[in-house]
Amino acid sequence: MALVLHDTLERRDLPFEPLEPPRVRMYNCGPTVYSYAHIGNFCAFMLADLLRRTLEWEGYPVTQVMNITDVGHLTEDDVEAGEDKLVAAALREGKPPRAVADFYLEAFHQDRRALGILDAHHYPRATDHVPGMVEAVRRLLERGHAYEAQGEVYFDITTFPAYGRLSGNTLDELNAGARVAVHAAKRNPRDFALWKRDTRHLMQWDAPWGRGFPGWHIECSVMSMALLGESLDIHTGGEDNIFPHHESEIAQSEALTGRPFVRHWLHTRHLLVDGRKMAKSAGNFHTVRDLLGRGHEGRTVRYLLLSTHYRQQQNFTLAGLDQARAALARLDGFVAWLRERGGESPAAGASTGHEAAAPFHASLDEAGRRFRAALDDDLNASAALAALFDFVNATYRGADAGPAEARAALGFLGDLDRVLGVMRLEAPAGPPAEVRSLLAARAEARSRKDWAASDRLRARVREMGWEVLDGPSGQRPRRL
């Protein structure tokens, strides 16, 4: 079975095939670094990470590029206000725009790492690619796809008949909607800006048409082509990017190169929080750092985001985080159980001469097949997790897990976690000396069947942040 991905443009599932196998070139719409990214933003970044991990797990070498928007996109309203979001943040905080961007970019990387999102290979910043954008605009003008007016440059969408294919917003429908204020310089209300001019804008560059700044969409076309070439295998983003951002990217890029821009378009549905659209005004706005501040681990947030298919509308709740934490605790317990059964040293396994039992292997193979089939089916992580949990249940139930099975199971979990990125497979750090001495005292009390002392010591250990699980092989300390 091979990987199938839903393509926004074709509106159907397509078998995935790199344009130049086996290398996969993927571009993800990244954050605008004018404030902390929120949980909805990370929903989209998680799709990018899941896709990248799945591709690598399936053996494809991947080159992943995620752009950093640090120019800020100017809107008509912002023009009125004389500032865009990045500039507004700079003014608010009394810093130069680049410093604001640097600050929030670092915050983005911190949050991203907390969620176990792997490093992309490139994080191009729009402000580092302005000369490339100027050149692209110049070529679009040269080819007659753009026109200059009053020191600004607009893309003429009538020169690109396929405009509207991605979003379904055909020219007629767009004109019927007519919700965009007609800009005097535009020939067609739906022409979009390639180069803008506004003397009040703080970030400006020189260009043949005068000092100004790049339009809303050109950065992704230029940076993706600079780093990945003229045709990309995959381009991802949130559903809001479909129009006008990605629609315009296609028009610009293909007008520029005459070649198909992107093979597979993937978009995440926006999530809800507490059943409503997330908004600062609604009081249901979460950032990763807020959630970590509530005592949650990054992997718990990751698990929760992972547990809903990316094209489904997820309802994110704090109660959901608690449930995710409990689910992970079950996996942690399984790992600890396997370790106790002798699975901690895979390398030493060979000498035992004990082969894993056949039923166990059948169960493991079945789980592996289902896991892969689920991911192959348009990244169905929920179904993949179900396969994992079925394996956990079957292994517990089998009760014949010896050292060989335990090692095999741990290896299997490690393999699945290359995609999931949520498990704790490394040997957990043992308790500190103080706790260890309490445990020793408790073991001694238990040998005398002094249950009162045993319970007292257990309570003290608990106060120090550890709980004690008594089993056939003695006490097992576990961090709370």
Does residue 362 interact with RNA by CB under 7 A?
no
Between 95 and 134, how does the x/- string for binding to RNA read (CB under 7 A)? ----------------------------------------
Does residue 275 interact with RNA by CB under 7 A?
yes
Complex with RNA: residue 110 or 323, whichever CB lies closer: 323
Partners of 7 in beta bridges: 12
Does residue 270 interact with RNA by CB under 7 A?
yes
Select from 91, 185, 357, 386 the one that contacts RNA (CB under 7 A).
386
Does residue 80 interact with RNA by CB under 7 A?
no
CB 415 within 8 A of CB 371: no
Binding to RNA, residues 31-60 (CB under 7 A): 31-32, 37-38, 40-41, 43-44
Q: CB of 319: closest distance to RNA in angstroms?
A: 5
Does residue 180 interact with RNA by CB under 7 A?
yes
DSSP string, 359-425: HHHHHHHHHHHHHHHHHHBT--HHHHHHHHHHHHHHHHHH----HHHHHHHHHHHHHHHHHH-----
Token digits for 453?
Answer: 């002392």
Q: CB of 186: closest distance to RNA in angstroms?
A: 12
Q: CB of 9: closest distance to RNA in angstroms?
A: 13
**Can the peptide bond before residue 244 be classed as cis, meaning omega within 30 degrees of 0?**
yes
Q: Hey, how many other C-beta atoms are within 10 angstroms of the C-beta on 465?
A: 11
Binding to RNA, residues 298-337 (CB under 7 A): 304, 307-309, 312-315, 317, 319-320, 322-323, 326-327, 330, 333-334, 337
Burial tier of 183 (Cβ tally within 10 Å: 0-12, 13-18, 19+):
middle
Element housing 345 (H / E): none
Select from 167, 221, 252, 284 the one that contacts RNA (CB under 7 A).
167
Does residue 446 interact with RNA by CB under 7 A?
yes
Q: CB of 23: closest distance to RNA in angstroms?
A: 25
If DSSP codes are grouped into helix, strand and coil, which group holds residue 226?
helix
Complex with RNA: residue 148 or 239, whichever CB lies closer: 239
DSSP string, 239-285: GGGIIIIIHHHHHHHHHHHSS--EEEEEEEPPPEETTEE--GGGT--
Q: CB of 409: closest distance to RNA in angstroms?
A: 13
Q: CB of 304: closest distance to RNA in angstroms?
A: 7
Give CA–CA dist 14/87, Å, rounded.
Answer: 41
Does residue 345 interact with RNA by CB under 7 A?
no
Does residue 92 interact with RNA by CB under 7 A?
no
Select from 23, 143, 354, 397 the one that contacts RNA (CB under 7 A).
397
Q: CB of 351: closest distance to RNA in angstroms?
A: 28
Select from 157, 174, 222, 413 the one that contacts RNA (CB under 7 A).
174
Give CA–CA dist 76/49, Å, rounded.
Answer: 34
CB 265 within 8 A of CB 9: yes
Name, in order, each residue with C-beta under 8 angstroms of 232's C-beta and a sequence gap of 6 or more: 25, 26, 27, 224, 261, 262, 263
Does residue 208 interact with RNA by CB under 7 A?
no
Give CA–CA dist 215/152, Å, rounded.
Answer: 9
Q: CB of 454: closest distance to RNA in angstroms?
A: 4
